[in-house]
Structure 1
């Protein structure tokens, strides 16, 4: 039995026979062409460009149809790289000036391009090197007439093992046959990981070298929750995982019975559960799982994976789509949180030494006012379609909040002068994710209609830990005493002033934290769509008194690990089925 630890990127358990896929091996038949054949070779390259573009377009359309625009945008970005004039010019220059064959020129140019990405310090951007190599393979297949690797034509269920899989390869996997996959390379922020999550295929990446020790047909377990890959498991391990998989399926079936029931504690306290969404199509899943509204509608997707800036109409249609799906339920639209690891290429922003503390989010919006005004106009126009709220991210000072509200008022007046209908009574709120706001929250509560704790950023700023840095990510912990005390302080102050408060960070989506947050006074959760039923299950299994006693003990502890142990013990004691995800 061989046990490997990698990076969990898509949850679930997959058990099956291994199909081992090596890297594409392209044998370039000739490296140079005769001088009088140069133009013919250029024409052959251009024809390959068209073939590759059609192949990528088909991937884009297929993935967009099945998984939504988030995953489809990955392949639109591939298409834009393929159509980059610089790449075309460099390849054709090598053919004409050095008499390279098309295959040699394509491989030379795109591997240089990929290496440029690999050298970048930001791991999110560095992972784009795999996208460039995917494009190289498209072009070489077109030039050499070689078909795709045969992993798309499996005849029996299997677990795919590979050195690396590109986004297009994952998107073309047969979900009926591929139970899961594991790769030697890859990271948690890669596009391959995003596509796997969207397709619901259990996946582990970044295990390090192991393919030479695996044979096709070996039984393999991929644990997409813990990031574990087990090759040739012994009987007891295999039996344990099979039982675990059955238990998970049974638990999911049990949770589905809660869809139409309220999130009410055993002693009658009503807890509101809203959904977090990144793309319009996710609203339907939130509704299906019983969400009472959308507590966080992220809008960055409108700017990413495209070469131009979204128009006011693009914004308007995206907002109206969600508002119509949710009916009379509230939809909280967060203005764009661009910058840091979500950098729109259209703005040509200069590289920053510390982007998480730089020009991002509301700071970026107030620097690029026309960009901000376009979004605000669209939100106001869409407000007549339903129950809209607006939330501003990354506010750090009262002056910043007041400047933002002034801009909001100016846009309203512009619309009024143009006789464009909108609602004037839209509630305005802020994300509490910067320590300066959390500490002085009493000053901000007088100027907003609601607040939402954004724990993802709040944790990294309070603890001085970059949550995307693998070297310190183990220090990023939601149960550190300083975090718990800040959350408690914010909730207490909001309650004292009668201002609604929710929590929309990842912390709220994990059932481990539900009892603690209820005990700290939280009565409104905004969670990922797939977590709604789990959080509802916890709410309906406890009393507020139990939760307050738990929170009191947690606040008295000195170490995050002790808090986690306490929460785990109490949750599993209450609902043993949750032991799987602890």
Structure 2
């Protein structure tokens, strides 16, 4: 038995037999054609016929996936690249006398080489897309055939060095129960397609796929990212038991989808979703999210190196329309530090304390203005709010509001419509902002406490540094006191307070007891948190919060909360 780690894509447990996918990519060698007009025109025609077939295929996939926009848009992009590269390939055939196959391979390889020297998920995704496009064209230029799954008698787990988005989109769901790949990330196009189609996938496990053979039993743990190869019977039984428990839990949670998010004594608690792109709205709503409390707009840069105003606008407008009258809080770009994407090439000794987020937006004001224009334009399509991250002083918010005001005037002079009243909020994630939050109440409509950075900056712990991971403690008395102060100020001045970040359900109970009524969570956490909220009274949460605020040590808090949660879970299980 071997256990390997990768990147989990879908929260699920899968036990199945491996099927090694040999892609048998067409081998392309350097080939030339005769240098006469008739041969050149014939080769160009051969390429155009192959391109036409490839585009026809892509349009068919777009049509088949039209109700799942996050898949459809990927293949729309492939089609556009095919169309835009046509002239360059024809030029290569005509002037370099390359055979069509080699012209395609040469161009796509040059694109990939330019991208391979750059780091980041954006470039990995584009390389994968280019490989997919090349394979599609070569298939029609050669006698290469599609992989057939018809001979499979039982559902299998596909194991491959990599899967293209096309291959993933066309996998027969009655034959495939999981995917394991060498490469890929959680936001790669292949991962997005797998997640959307409900296929359990572990990606990025490296060369470890070489240790898996067709017929081997494999276990995919979509909660931890573990792949268990040739497990023992005891391990299989353990995971099958977890699988069954997860099914029962999922069925149980489905029953409360339509129920209100409220305590046993009917105090409403709003549960919203954190999203990174408009396609996740569908998932959020399926998990009974009441809206979007945090739209992390910086992830638009994963798909687009330098998105223009229309790209921003289309993303925000799409999300707003899908939500209808539900609220959506659009956070302005939080780029820098761990979300650099290689865009501004700023090298700093300590990027978390450097030019990131709102500071970066002030430095690159043209980028900031472009985004603000797009958000304002999108505001006519729904209940949109704007939130500024990494605010450390009143000067920050005044400067941001001044730029926003100028952008509004520009749109007004151009007769471009936007909502007349757009709520404005700030992230409370720097201790200076938490301590002086009373100074912001005249400028904003809401506070959103960002727990991840608040813990990091308050306790002087780099949350990405494994050497100090044991110092990163949410249950530190300083964190609770800062949050309590923000809640009290918000309540006193009528400023709404919410929280977002990676929060455990134990901490949510404490925060409700401290007076917090709004949480923005991962979509997949919402139903479980709702179930817990419905099993407890407000008075119980207040007693728990009072006890926790009296404890000094982090470990004492955790032990106390786990005991309390265990008792609560007994009530609703």
Q: Structure 1-normalised TM-score? A: 0.80
What secondary structure sits across from 1:10 in the alignment?
coil
Contact 1:395–1:401 (8 Å) recurs in 2: yes
What secondary structure sits across from 2:218 in the alignment?
strand
Distance 1:259 1:519, change over 3 A: same
CA RMSD of aligned residues (A): 4.2
1:52 aligned partner: 54
Please give the residue correspondences for 1:184-223 in structure 2 after superposition, counting only pairs within 5 Å: 184-223=182-221
- Give how far 1:416 is off: 7.6
Please give the residue correspondences for 1:287-436 in structure 2 after superposition, counting only pairs within 5 Å: 287=285, 289-297=287-295, 305=303, 309-310=309-310, 314=314, 318=318, 321-322=321-322, 325-326=324-325, 330-334=326-330, 336-337=332-333, 339-340=335-336, 350-353=344-347, 357-358=354-355, 360=357, 364=361, 367-368=365-366, 371-372=370-371, 374-375=373-374, 377-379=376-378, 381-382=380-381, 389-409=385-405, 424-436=420-432
1:542 aligned partner: 536
Distance 1:398 1:18 in 2: 58
2:444 aligned partner: 448
Range with greater deviation from structure 2 (39-48 or 493-502): 39-48
What secondary structure sits across from 1:195 in the alignment?
helix
Contact 2:384–2:422 (8 Å) recurs in 1: yes
1:533 aligned partner: 527
Distance 1:44 1:568 in 2: 68
Distance 1:57 1:472 in 2: 50
Please give the residue correspondences for 1:566-581 in structure 2 after superposition, counting only pairs within 5 Å: 567-568=561-562, 570-575=564-569
Please give the residue correspondences for 1:94-113 in structure 2 after superposition, counting only pairs within 5 Å: 96-97=95-96, 99-113=97-111
Give CA deviations for 1:398-435 in whole Å, capped at 9, x if unaligned. 23322333455566677888998876554332232445
Distance 1:313 1:112 in 2: 32
- Give how far 1:501 is off: 0.4
Contact 1:485–1:555 (8 Å) recurs in 2: no
What secondary structure sits across from 2:163 in the alignment?
coil
Q: Structure 2-normalised TM-score? A: 0.81
Asked if residue 522 in structure 1 is aligned to residue 519 in structure 2, the reply is: no
1:256 aligned partner: 254
Distance 1:101 1:472 in 2: 55
- Give how far 1:446 is off: 3.2
Distance 1:157 1:141, change over 3 A: same
Please give the residue correspondences for 1:489-504 in structure 2 after superposition, counting only pairs within 5 Å: 489-504=485-500
Contact 1:52–1:139 (8 Å) recurs in 2: yes
Matched pairs, number:
561
Give CA deviations for 1:289-328 in whole Å, capped at 9, x if unaligned. 44444433556688875775318985785366245x34xx
Unaligned 5+ residue runs, structure 2?
none
- Give how far 1:535 is off: 0.9
Unaligned 5+ residue runs, structure 1?
none
Distance 1:45 1:479, change over 3 A: farther
- Give how far 1:443 is off: 1.4
1:3 aligned partner: 3
Contact 1:390–1:427 (8 Å) recurs in 2: yes
1:137 aligned partner: 135
What secondary structure sits across from 1:310 in the alignment?
helix
Distance 1:388 1:314, change over 3 A: closer
What secondary structure sits across from 2:114 in the alignment?
helix
Give CA deviations for 1:94-137 in whole Å, capped at 9, x if unaligned. 8743x543333433443343243333233553454333322222
Give CA deviations for 1:526-548 in whole Å, capped at 9, x if unaligned. 23333221111111223445545
Contact 1:373–1:411 (8 Å) recurs in 2: yes
Give CA deviations for 1:509-541 in whole Å, capped at 9, x if unaligned. x53542243244422112333322111111122
Contact 1:571–1:578 (8 Å) recurs in 2: no
